[in-house]
Chain A
Amino acid sequence: MTAIELSAAVRAGERSAVDVLDEHLARIEERDGEIHAFNLVTADLARSQAEAVDSAVAEGRDPGPLAGVPVAVKDNTCTRGIPTTCSSRILDGWLPPYNATVVDRLAAAGAVTIGKTNLDEFAMGSSTENSAFGPTRNPHDTSKVPGGSSGGSAAAVAAAFAPLAIGSDTGGSIRQPAALCGVVGAKPTYGAVSRYGLIAFASSLDQIGPFATTVADAAVLLESIGGHDPRDSTSIEAPAPSILDALDRGVDGLRVGVLTELAGGPGGVEGISPDVIARTTQAVAALEAAGAEVSEVSVPSATLGLSAYYLIAPAEASSNLSRYDGVRYGLRVDAPTTGEMNTASRSAGFGDEVKRRIMLGTYALSAGYYDAFYGKALKVRTLILRDFAAAYEKVDVLVTPTSPTTAFGFGDKTADPMAMYVNDVCTIPSNLSGHPAISVPFGVGDDGLPIGVQILGPAQSEPTIFSVAAVLEDVASKGGAR
């Protein structure tokens, strides 16, 4: 059952939210020992929320669009009184005294927050192997990674532990695991969803978004958590356009561009596997068959995104993660002086990838290097924004693969950070430009593992890109993606 169907059944009194919860808790009990999607299952909280939904229905009140739907929440999203770890030792013992805005909005929509999902430490990674609490496994093949950093959320939805999950996407951290786990994942326009309570990785790139098994479910979740929040200064003030209303508008007459540099075209990025390119080509053909006007569009600076991203994101992270100093909360390793205590706590609390990025970012911002690294990366970011703006003069949406490959094996890329970073090459440009993007499952690779196709659009074009994804979803469900 989809989240929309579940919610309808609960609101109609046909199913009890407590039953729905128990069914999901049973699946978690049965299989999460193996998958490890969750850092923490909040069964008691979920039960009290489900009971409240049931009594609301019994009393004739509407609990909201997500009534009784279990939602898994990435463990970098603050939940009041419940450990929020970022899958890091540094936050040992810390209990947030407040809820993230999205957590409050989930509750207001009648959702049941079932647990906190695993991630690469501080969302830094593409495989969820960087978690201090051990990796998450891909439900389609437990010898493979689920992608990352929101690997726990993607796996939770793929394993039907929850119909919906919340993730965060800084360079592809929702879309890439969604592709690898065969579910729908979207990164909204920057500012569409409040970041208040999202523990920052790279503030100018971070965006919270939905995971779901269907495009329509992802749309319901996004509409429930989105909208202006005065507590986030970067939140968009204008009301968000309705996605659900536009979902079945189709693609007739829509101008669809294939972003050549990210779709195996000449002069583009290398390393995108042939089966992934084949599915992307098939998806474009399906859109053309559905009435879209298809063309090839070049966005030359898109290939520079990866380098710019790996300077900007670590630079912001080096600052955002300074506060974990052992003074006020989290892990403290005692030492004779304050400075030595800071160093000891951070050395013990952070994992290797986090340390690598803090050093990278510190270096990129340092006097004498700023202009050559961080400053230059900002210029590339401006260039990317300009090139995409020009592309969206010609087309309404762009299509690329989501991830260069299907799910890979544990340890395959951990020895070489650059090999891991290349995973984000197709997803990063939307974070740099602040534009929305959605990954929708479209067939499988030669290894039988899921492949995702990515639809990109200009700012606040969620209704359009979701409706394109809905068309592909429909084609795939009818066996049109092979």
Chain B
Amino acid sequence: MTWLIEPTLPEGWELVVGLEVHVELATATKLFCGCANQFGSEPNTNICPVCLGLPGSLPVINGTAVKYAMQLGRALQCEVGPSVMARKNYFYPDMPKDYQTTQYDQPTSFDGELMLADGFRVGVERAHIEEDTGKSTHVGGGGRINDAVHSLVDYNRAGVPLVEIVSHPCLDTIEHAKAYVSGLRDILLAIAVSDARMEEGSMRVDANVSVRPMGSEELRTRCELKNINSIRSMGRAIEYEALRQIDLYSNGESPRQETRHWDEAAGRSTPGRSKEDADDYRYFQEPDLVRLVPSAAEIATIDDAMPARPSARRTALRQLVPAASVSVDVIATLVDRGQDELAIAAIGEGADPEKVVTRLQHDLAVDDFSKITAGALADLIRMETTGELTATQVKQVLSEMVDTGGEPGPIAESRGFEAMPTDDLAGIVDQLIAEHPDEWTRFVGGDDGDRKKMQGFFTGEIMRSTRGQADGRAVAELLAQRSAG
């Protein structure tokens, strides 16, 4: 995977980032009631006494949401065990009960990790279940709650199940932060528990950012960045914040611990609430719900159905391919595209590992490669290795295999890419040498420039007489052989 050029911090400074990622679970119904969990409905149509927190209503937890949360926990290699719901108390108009039902000291999942493609380990502190709030639209003034003339509240989102994934403050570069979020999204999609769309808010990232002198172990005052709408936007927000903090330190000042609101259009963040007068959320166990106690069998079922993690898939492919010849990025690209299984199977059929990986990387950047079987791919690579097909021909055959799913042999034949045995090629080469003695003398005895020019001449002639079916490399080898002999 290729990122934008990494912005570098001024020399001597190091970035410390921890990410809190909120993910909406793709359940049919909300976390505590039967209302539809649906994005984009008319305001206040997916609501009922429970998700409106009407007096006397009681929550009943959605078993599918709990299962999804446990699946996510296991995908992040977390411990998943008994957990309890808790109340986080604070007043906010879009929160119907004026407390959020969440998890506090006993989250569903904790102590996990996500391995990035370059081998960097991101520690996951916890992944807990909680309910989403409604959505406020502030009308008039500057569109923020403090100066709005009035506020409109849509409770469709209130009670939608979320998992909040909290990383350790261990991300040391913007590239790693981006790779982590992207890796999380891949996992969410792979286990199909969320559609993970940042632009629709079904995946939301808050970044806790601080900086410190390079090599230091301290954790300095951090700022929490909110309103980040894309991975790219997160990178910009972190960079802006890091530079802002370094600026302050360089001027002998210090940042305040605060929440900051990222303005993507303006490319800067503005201060929100100061965390010094932080709310006391008065957490306590939710008395309206009972303890969640998954059985060992439930966890085992989840583990059995778990698709292999990207990091494990990368390792599996990596082990089959010589490390020196193929880069980490290429392996990661194939895993991202979901082509690792095909590659491993083709290698298993005896195809040259390096060629398989290189060919897939360059010539199979397509969404749908489902028609290609490992056997057919292995045959194709074998034809390339033996020189039966030229590089150009291999590309064309592969492209047709994507569309039709045919076998490489018949496709090559139908296109007139007849196999050209090396003996035949040698005959043609010898004949050409005999027909062009002057050029041959220049090839054999000339300087480097002459030799290069004449190699071009002979190769061109051979390609013309074989209508492009000769393998360029085989031709070069034959010419070298004859000149040496």
Q: Which residues of A contact B93 (CB under 8 A)?
A: 325, 327, 338
CB-based nearest A residue for B61: A233
Q: Which residues of A contact B28 (CB under 8 A)?
A: none
Q: Which residues of A contact B59 (CB under 8 A)?
A: 233
Residue among B52, B55, B91, B98 making CB contact with A199, cutoff 8 Å: B55
What separation, in Å, do the CA atoms of A338 and B288 have in the docked complex?
Answer: 28
Please tell me if the beta carbons of B151 and A98 are within 8 angstroms of each other in the complex. no
B267 proximal to A (CB < 8 A): no
Please tell me if the beta carbons of A78 and B55 are within 8 angstroms of each other in the complex. yes
Interface-forming stretch among B4-12, B221-229, B257-265, B279-287? B279-287
Q: A322-B89, A338-B151 are in contact. Are A374 and B284 (CB under 8 A)?
A: yes
Q: Which residues of A contact B58 (CB under 8 A)?
A: 195-196, 231-233
A185-207 interface code vs B (CB 8 A; 1 in, 0 out): 00000000001111110111000
User: What's the nearest-Cβ distance from chain B to residue A333, in Å?
Assistant: 15
Please tell me if the beta carbons of B290 and A198 are within 8 angstroms of each other in the complex. no
Query: Which of B56, B91, B145 counts the most chain A CB atoms within 10 A?
Result: B56
What separation, in Å, do the CA atoms of A86 and B55 have in the docked complex?
Answer: 10
Instruction: Count residues of chain A with CB under 8 A from any CB of chain B.
Output: 43
Residue among B53, B280, B289 making CB contact with A323, cutoff 8 Å: B53
Q: Which residues of B contact A342 (CB under 8 A)?
A: 91
What separation, in Å, do the CA atoms of A204 and B52 have in the docked complex?
Answer: 21
Please tell me if the beta carbons of A338 and B56 are within 8 angstroms of each other in the complex. no
Q: A96-B55, A342-B91, A367-B280 are in contact. Are A204 and B287 (CB under 8 A)?
A: yes
Q: A203-B288, A325-B93, A365-B282 are in contact. Are A197 and B98 (CB under 8 A)?
A: no
CB-based nearest B residue for A205: B287
Q: A338-B151, A342-B91 are in contact. Are A319 and B284 (CB under 8 A)?
A: yes
B87 proximal to A (CB < 8 A): yes
Please tell me if the beta carbons of A231 and B287 are within 8 angstroms of each other in the complex. no
What separation, in Å, do the CA atoms of A195 and B59 have in the docked complex?
Answer: 11
Please tell me if the beta carbons of B56 and A199 are within 8 angstroms of each other in the complex. yes
Please tell me if the beta carbons of B56 and A196 are within 8 angstroms of each other in the complex. yes
A297-334 interface code vs B (CB 8 A; 1 in, 0 out): 00000000000000000011011001101011100000
Within 8 A of B (CB), among A24-50: none
What separation, in Å, do the CA atoms of A78 and B49 have in the docked complex?
Answer: 12
Q: Which residues of A contact B268 (CB under 8 A)?
A: none
Within 8 A of B (CB), among A169-185: none
Please tell me if the beta carbons of A196 and B287 are within 8 angstroms of each other in the complex. no
B57 proximal to A (CB < 8 A): yes
A230 proximal to B (CB < 8 A): yes
A477 proximal to B (CB < 8 A): no
A97 proximal to B (CB < 8 A): yes
Please tell me if the beta carbons of A338 and B55 are within 8 angstroms of each other in the complex. no
Please tell me if the beta carbons of A197 and B280 are within 8 angstroms of each other in the complex. no
A234 proximal to B (CB < 8 A): yes
User: What's the nearest-Cβ distance from chain A to residue B13, in Å?
Assistant: 33
Q: Which residues of A contact B369 (CB under 8 A)?
A: none
User: What's the nearest-Cβ distance from chain A to residue B367, in Å?
Assistant: 44
Q: Which residues of A contact B96 (CB under 8 A)?
A: 323, 328
Q: Which residues of A contact B57 (CB under 8 A)?
A: 98, 196-197
A91 proximal to B (CB < 8 A): yes
B60 proximal to A (CB < 8 A): yes
Q: A97-B49, A338-B151, A342-B91 are in contact. Are A362 and B55 (CB under 8 A)?
A: no
B54 proximal to A (CB < 8 A): yes
A109 proximal to B (CB < 8 A): no
Please tell me if the beta carbons of B91 and A325 are within 8 angstroms of each other in the complex. yes
Please tell me if the beta carbons of A366 and B280 are within 8 angstroms of each other in the complex. yes
B43-81 interface code vs A (CB 8 A; 1 in, 0 out): 000000100111111111100000000000000000000
Q: Which residues of A contact B283 (CB under 8 A)?
A: 365
B268-283 interface code vs A (CB 8 A; 1 in, 0 out): 0000000000001011
Please tell me if the beta carbons of A233 and B53 are within 8 angstroms of each other in the complex. no
Q: A204-B287, A234-B288, A327-B93 are in contact. Are A322 and B99 (CB under 8 A)?
A: yes
Q: Which residues of A contact B53 (CB under 8 A)?
A: 323
Please tell me if the beta carbons of A325 and B98 are within 8 angstroms of each other in the complex. yes
User: What's the nearest-Cβ distance from chain B to residue A204, in Å?
Assistant: 4
CB-based nearest A residue for B90: A322
A339 proximal to B (CB < 8 A): yes
CB-based nearest B residue for A203: B287
Q: Which residues of A contact B284 (CB under 8 A)?
A: 315-316, 319, 365, 374
B97 proximal to A (CB < 8 A): yes
Please tell me if the beta carbons of B56 and A198 are within 8 angstroms of each other in the complex. yes
Q: A97-B49, A325-B91, A325-B93 are in contact. Are A319 and B282 (CB under 8 A)?
A: yes
What separation, in Å, do the CA atoms of A374 and B60 have in the docked complex?
Answer: 25
User: What's the nearest-Cβ distance from chain B to residue A320, in Å?
Assistant: 8
A220 proximal to B (CB < 8 A): no
User: What's the nearest-Cβ distance from chain A to residue B304, in Å?
Assistant: 29
A159 proximal to B (CB < 8 A): no
Please tell me if the beta carbons of A319 and B87 are within 8 angstroms of each other in the complex. yes
CB-based nearest B residue for A362: B282
User: What's the nearest-Cβ distance from chain A to residue B102, in Å?
Assistant: 13
Please tell me if the beta carbons of A84 and B49 are within 8 angstroms of each other in the complex. no
What separation, in Å, do the CA atoms of A100 and B153 have in the docked complex?
Answer: 27
What separation, in Å, do the CA atoms of A231 and B153 have in the docked complex?
Answer: 26
What separation, in Å, do the CA atoms of A330 and B1 have in the docked complex?
Answer: 56
User: What's the nearest-Cβ distance from chain B to residue A231, in Å?
Assistant: 6
Please tell me if the beta carbons of A233 and B52 are within 8 angstroms of each other in the complex. no
Q: Which residues of B contact A410 (CB under 8 A)?
A: none
A94 proximal to B (CB < 8 A): yes
A52-82 interface code vs B (CB 8 A; 1 in, 0 out): 0000000000000000000000000110000
Please tell me if the beta carbons of A338 and B282 are within 8 angstroms of each other in the complex. no
What separation, in Å, do the CA atoms of A316 and B286 have in the docked complex?
Answer: 9
What separation, in Å, do the CA atoms of A229 and B287 have in the docked complex?
Answer: 16
Please tell me if the beta carbons of B97 and A233 are within 8 angstroms of each other in the complex. no
Q: Which residues of B contact A362 (CB under 8 A)?
A: 282
CB-based nearest B residue for A330: B55
Q: A78-B56, A366-B280, A367-B280 are in contact. Are A338 and B145 (CB under 8 A)?
A: yes
Q: Which residues of B contact A230 (CB under 8 A)?
A: 60
Q: Which residues of B contact A318 (CB under 8 A)?
A: 89, 282
Residue among B56, B91, B153, B287 making CB contact with A197, cutoff 8 Å: B56
Please tell me if the beta carbons of B56 and A233 are within 8 angstroms of each other in the complex. no
Residue among A94, A232, A370, A374 making CB contact with B55, cutoff 8 Å: A94
Q: Which residues of A contact B54 (CB under 8 A)?
A: 96-98, 329
Q: Which residues of B contact A91 (CB under 8 A)?
A: 55
User: What's the nearest-Cβ distance from chain A to residue B58, in Å?
Assistant: 5
B7-32 interface code vs A (CB 8 A; 1 in, 0 out): 00000000000000000000000000
What separation, in Å, do the CA atoms of A233 and B287 have in the docked complex?
Answer: 10
Q: Which residues of B contact A86 (CB under 8 A)?
A: 55
CB-based nearest A residue for B289: A233
Please tell me if the beta carbons of B287 and A316 are within 8 angstroms of each other in the complex. yes
Please tell me if the beta carbons of A366 and B282 are within 8 angstroms of each other in the complex. yes
CB-based nearest A residue for B52: A328
User: What's the nearest-Cβ distance from chain A to residue B140, in Å?
Assistant: 13
What separation, in Å, do the CA atoms of A94 and B56 have in the docked complex?
Answer: 12
User: What's the nearest-Cβ distance from chain B to residue A318, in Å?
Assistant: 8
Please tell me if the beta carbons of A231 and B60 are within 8 angstroms of each other in the complex. yes
Query: Which of B54, B89, B283 counts the most chain A CB atoms within 10 A?
Result: B54
Q: Which residues of A contact B87 (CB under 8 A)?
A: 319
Provide 19 A-B residue pairs closer than 8 Å at the C-beta atoms, listed in order of the A residue: A78-B55, A94-B55, A98-B56, A197-B56, A197-B57, A199-B55, A202-B287, A203-B287, A203-B288, A233-B289, A234-B288, A318-B282, A319-B89, A319-B284, A322-B98, A323-B96, A338-B145, A365-B284, A366-B282
A96-B49, A97-B54, A319-B99 are known; give 17 further A-B pairs, CB within 8 A: A78-B56, A91-B55, A100-B56, A202-B287, A203-B287, A204-B287, A233-B61, A316-B287, A318-B282, A319-B89, A323-B96, A323-B97, A325-B93, A327-B93, A338-B93, A365-B283, A367-B282
User: A residues touching B (Cβ–Cβ < 8 Å)?
Assistant: 77-78, 84, 86, 91, 94, 96-98, 100, 195-200, 202-204, 230-234, 315-316, 318-319, 322-323, 325, 327-329, 338-339, 342, 362, 365-367, 370, 374
User: B residues touching A (Cβ–Cβ < 8 Å)?
Assistant: 49, 52-61, 87, 89, 91, 93, 96-99, 145, 151, 153, 280, 282-284, 287-290
